[in-house]
Amino acid sequence: MRRTPQHTPADTTGVPGLVLLLALFAAACSSVPITGRSQLSLIPASTMLATSVQQYGEFLKSSTVSTDARKVALVRKVGTGIQGAVERYFREKNMSDRLKDYQWEFNLVESEDVNAWCMPGGKVVVYTGILPVTRDEAGLAVVMGHEIAHAIAEHGSERMSQELLTQLGGIGLAAALESEPQKTRDLWMSVYGAGATFGALLPFSRLHESEADRLGLIFMAMAGYNPQEAVTFWQRMAAQKGGQSPPEFLSTHPSDETRIADLQKLLPEARTYYRKPS
């Protein structure tokens, strides 16, 4: 999108941009499920999902997908369980249309990186390097619940919107993909935590973290996992911090005492959603 500037004596630098920005804000807000927070959303969901399918596919092609049948089955089991919880939650709130274009996929990738992420549309990757920290099925549910929560809350789209504004001057994602394919791809990978081999990962904001913690706890509880496991998982993560090279997961997901204390406070709400595994 390119505007021809029409200078009049009343124009001051930046004002047309500001007006455009305000117009975009007004037209481009959506709200986060469960928390109800309204958020900036400049990129149509259809563009996000199409890009996700493409980037996820390319990521898998350039990675070694695990063939360890037991571990792969565990990732799929936990992922499918969280997916079921998310779908049930949205069905009960009459919001299923927000999930209609999801194409859920759960893959385990061979990598020493302590990391996991979920792209829009339910495209999840777990790295084998995080399995020693998740330890068991419930620990894995903490990580996958949390990452899927980031996707459900459309945090990536929100960050992409903010980054496109600052790095590419508000150019739309579709236009950016066409004119700056490499730059846009790197930006995408860094926003979704998949950028370890491509460049720096963008950390989630405190707000996004606490939102993903809250939603993730609810989804894992609905899937039949004890939400208390989230506290013990983040305590284990915090213990990793002192190591020689901090895990990739911690560069996007800082863990500290505040988070652990906040999780404790969220447990009573999450427990009301708990459903025994069938």
Tell me the catalytic residues. Answer: 147
- Give the amino acid at 167: Q
Nearest-angstrom CA–CA distance, 143 and 212: 10
Our CB check for Zn ion shows the closer of 114 and 177 to be: 114
Is residue 153 part of the contact set for Zn ion (CB under 5 A)?
A: no
Minimum distance between the CB of residue 233 and Zn ion, rounded to whole angstroms? 12
Identify the CA nearest to 263 among candidates 238, 227, 225: 227
Minimum distance between the CB of residue 147 and Zn ion, rounded to whole angstroms? 7
Is residue 155 part of the contact set for Zn ion (CB under 5 A)?
A: no
Q: Which stretch binds Zn ion (CB under 5 A): 2-10, 58-66, 127-135, 246-254?
A: 246-254
Is residue 253 part of the contact set for Zn ion (CB under 5 A)?
A: yes
Minimum distance between the CB of residue 208 and Zn ion, rounded to whole angstroms? 7
Q: Are 130 and 218 in contact (CB under 8 A)?
A: no
Nearest-angstrom CA–CA distance, 14 and 12: 6
The separation between CA 77 and the C-alpha centre of its own chain, rounded to angstroms, equals 20
Our CB check for Zn ion shows the closer of 210 and 226 to be: 210
Q: Which stretch binds Zn ion (CB under 5 A): 96-104, 129-137, 181-189, 251-259?
A: 251-259
Binding residues among 90-149 for Zn ion as defined by CB under 5 A: none
Our CB check for Zn ion shows the closer of 134 and 176 to be: 134
- What are the distances in angstroms from CA 23 to CA 20, 47, 90, 97, 223? 5, 20, 30, 26, 40
Our CB check for Zn ion shows the closer of 143 and 177 to be: 143
Binding residues among 34-53 for Zn ion as defined by CB under 5 A: none
Our CB check for Zn ion shows the closer of 148 and 212 to be: 212
Residue window 194-233: x/- pattern of binding to Zn ion, with contact defined by CB under 5 A: ----------x----x--x---------------------
Minimum distance between the CB of residue 11 and Zn ion, rounded to whole angstroms? 42
For Zn ion (CB under 5 A), the number of binding residues is: 4
Residue window 51-90: x/- pattern of binding to Zn ion, with contact defined by CB under 5 A: ----------------------------------------
Minimum distance between the CB of residue 99 and Zn ion, rounded to whole angstroms? 20
Contacts of 100 by beta carbon, 8 Å cutoff, 6+ apart: none
Minimum distance between the CB of residue 169 and Zn ion, rounded to whole angstroms? 28
* Contacting residues toward Zn ion, per CB under 5 A: 204, 209, 212, 253
